[in-house]
């Protein structure tokens, strides 16, 4: 009964915490808010357990019982860890809900796959920002490769006209494309699937490349 009663305390990761999270979610309409509230209650519970194990005997003028203190610490650490994990997950989910291709990707322009390195370099300059990427497309407009900017920048200026853009590009594998209109969790799920194919993904809007999305950059954005 004691264990069952403790499990109903409204703090994550306990069952009572799940109930509190669901209640706050229902009241506020935001799952993130419910999880965060229940997680902080769980953290407060962990601190309270340690304070109780130490403070109760000290107030009575007694030395804390070692066995009780150790077991209380074990339970408190487990509760704190579970609550902290739920809090991190809630924060990540909240960040994921705000994901857009514009916020995670690098703007891209499309050039025919027969373009030269000079045309690729000119396209980047014309876009007005050095962060612009270049995607090579076939006759149907489908992406077939993306220019490696480091390799493009390494081409001597005198050799740009004679260098095919394809020679400084990496292929776009089948499945490494996503819909640029996706947002939030839908976008994240699409990226997870595409990143299994390759770490750089092309985002298409109305069939045309508009951005490149890199897995490491998405991971950093979710961890900020």
Mean model confidence pLDDT for the chain: 94
pLDDT for the residue numbered 1: 66
Give the model confidence (pLDDT) of 95-121 as tens digits.
889 999 999 999 999 999 999 999 999
pLDDT for the residue numbered 70: 95
Q: Give the chain's residues under pLDDT 50.
A: none
Residues 101-223, CATH architecture: Roll (3.10)
How far is Cα 135 from Cα 108, in angstroms, rounded to an integer? 7
Full-model pTM: 0.75
The domains of the chain are located at: 2-97, 101-223
Q: Which residues pair with 108 in a beta bridge?
A: 133
Other Cβ atoms less than 10 A from the Cβ of 109: the count is: 17
């Amino acid at each position: 009964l004691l264990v069952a009663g403790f499990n109903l305390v409204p703090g994550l990761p306990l069952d009572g915490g799940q109930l509190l999270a669901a209640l706050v979610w229902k009241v506020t309409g935001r799952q993130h808010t419910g999880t965060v509230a229940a997680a902080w209650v769980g953290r407060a519970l962990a601190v309270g357990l340690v304070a109780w194990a130490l403070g109760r005997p000290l107030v009575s003028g007694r030395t804390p019982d070692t066995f009780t203190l150790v077991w209380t610490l074990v339970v408190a650490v487990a509760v704190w860890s579970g609550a902290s994990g739920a809090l991190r997950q809630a924060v990540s989910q909240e960040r994921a809900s705000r994901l857009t291709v514009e916020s995670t990707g690098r703007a891209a322009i499309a050039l025919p796959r027969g373009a030269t390195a000079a045309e690729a370099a000119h396209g980047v300059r014309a876009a007005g920002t050095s962060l612009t990427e270049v995607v090579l497309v076939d006759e149907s407009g489908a992406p077939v490769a993306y220019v490696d900017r480091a390799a493009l920048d390494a081409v001597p200026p005198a050799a740009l006209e004679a260098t095919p853009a394809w020679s400084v590009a990496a292929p776009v594998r089948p499945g490494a494309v996503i819909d640029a209109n996706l947002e939030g969790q839908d976008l994240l799920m699409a990226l997870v699937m595409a990143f299994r194919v390759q770490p750089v993904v092309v985002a298409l809007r109305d069939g045309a490349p508009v951005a490149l999305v890199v897995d490491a950059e998405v991971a950093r954005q979710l961890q900020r």
